[in-house]
């Protein structure tokens, strides 16, 4: 039977970060990955360029039943700490909107940084190895795997959530949590596109592939970013962000002109071009096709010179307070992360160790810590991985 200090189940962002951290502390570390490919979500992220962190990262960018839980790990391993690591490896990157950092070349560079660190730290990584059983023993744990039995003083579960099952996602972390009687909170697809009701889908289908800057809101929560029309519904950063706050049956409100006084502009256009059709006027602020389709959907028409102030108010309200009720979401198939998961009240916020099971740790997406879009979930992976790696 192989004996090691630490077994980490899952060779993703949090698992590899934890492995290198523990290895540098002199621990013998074995990482087990059930698929043939390491770091699949890293490679897929950011359109293949990996949005690896966000320079504005803070606890305010996370959703959790216990919003204080993430503070300790994030304060001890910040976005700048990971940027410093990337800099040391000579990876070139750039900032996109809202503090999002992406590789200039390829997400493979971030994976290589982690693999190099693991190599330097003496970490062993074993792919295509499934864990069939995990048992607590007097000296730690015993794992029954497809590669034989392994004994470890500590075990770290870093297998992620349920999102993107074709990327290797499984319920393993939640199954282990249940095995050791840890409380699980309801889970749902997060950072996910919306699907639309049949009538809305039919009316908007011709706009598939069109994007537009919007403010998407639910109650007092709102995000101003791009929205993308798809053949099934709505996507894009603004929609993915607001999806974290949506519950089935709720409406979302979309302002197609955030920060722009559409009503005053329409009144000006009425003076300047009184004989123009409303769709022609609106096509100055969006594509002609989008103006035509939305005017039909909102049942708006006519020559602008013939429209009263009250009628222009109706036009402005239609475009700036568009309420739409999604039929649902695209689900885990396209969700970037999983909302909910292992109740953080069960976990030590400084070490990521289960309070009731000595030597068992949970890190990354499987915990009830969900970041906003834009590199925040990767930062949680790095920070929680380091927290556990310093403790095992």
Q: How far is CA 65 from CA 21, 184, 204, 208, 392, in A?
A: 28, 11, 36, 36, 26
What is residue 166's predicted lDDT score, i.e. its pLDDT?
Answer: 77
Whether 167 shows a pLDDT value over 80: the answer reads no
Integer Cα distance of 85 and 74 in angstroms: 16
- Tens of pLDDT, residues 41-95: 999 999 999 999 999 999 999 999 999 999 999 999 999 999 999 999 999 999 9
- Tens of pLDDT, residues 218-235: 999 999 999 999 999 999
- Mean pLDDT, rounded, for 186-192: 96
**pTM of the predicted structure, to 2 decimals:** 0.95
Integer Cα distance of 388 and 339 in angstroms: 21
Q: How far is CA 221 from CA 54, 172, 196, 252, in A?
A: 20, 33, 21, 10
């Amino acid at each position: 039977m192989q004996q090691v200090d630490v077994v980490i189940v899952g060779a993703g962002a949090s698992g590899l970060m934890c492995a290198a951290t523990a290895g540098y502390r002199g621990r013998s570390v074995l990482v087990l990955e059930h698929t043939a490919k390491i770091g699949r979500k890293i490679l897929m992220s950011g359109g293949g360029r990996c949005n690896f962190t966000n320079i504005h990262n803070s606890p305010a960018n996370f959703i959790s039943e216990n919003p204080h839980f993430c503070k300790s790990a994030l304060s001890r391993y910040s976005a700048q700490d990971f940027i410093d690591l990337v800099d040391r490896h000579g990876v070139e990157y750039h900032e996109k909107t809202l503090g999002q950092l992406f590789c200039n070349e390829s997400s493979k560079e971030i994976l290589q940084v982690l693999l190099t660190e693991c190599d330097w730290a003496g970490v062993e990584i074993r792919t295509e190895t499934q864990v069939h059983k995990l048992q607590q023993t007097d000296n730690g744990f015993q794992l029954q795997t497809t590669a034989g039995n392994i004994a470890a003083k500590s075990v770290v579960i870093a297998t992620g959530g349920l999102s993107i099952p074709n990327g290797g996602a499984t319920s393993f972390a939640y199954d282990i949590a249940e095995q050791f009687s840890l409380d699980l909170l309801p889970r749902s697809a997060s950072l996910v596109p919306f699907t639309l009701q049949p009538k809305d889908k039919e009316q908007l289908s011709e706009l598939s592939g069109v994007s537009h800057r919007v403010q998407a809101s639910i109650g007092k929560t709102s995000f101003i970013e791009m929205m993308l029309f798809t053949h099934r519904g709505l996507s894009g950063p603004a929609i993915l962000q607001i999806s974290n706050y949506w519950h089935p049956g709720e409406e979302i409100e979309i302002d197609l002109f955030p920060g722009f006084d559409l009503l005053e502009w329409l009144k000006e256009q009425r003076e300047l071009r009184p004989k123009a059709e409303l769709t022609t006027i609106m096509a100055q602020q969006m594509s002609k096709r989008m103006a035509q389709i939305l005017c039909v959907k909102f049942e708006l028409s006519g020559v602008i010179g013939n429209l009263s102030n009250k009628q222009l108010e109706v036009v402005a309200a239609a475009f700036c307070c568009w309420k739409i009720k999604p039929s649902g979401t695209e689900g885990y198939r396209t969700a970037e992360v999983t909302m909910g998961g292992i109740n953080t009240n069960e976990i030590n916020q400084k070490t990521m160790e289960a309070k009731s099971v000595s030597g068992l740790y949970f890190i990354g997406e499987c915990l009830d810590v969900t970041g906003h879009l834009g590199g925040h979930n990767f930062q949680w992976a790095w920070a929680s991985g380091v927290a556990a790696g310093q403790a095992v």
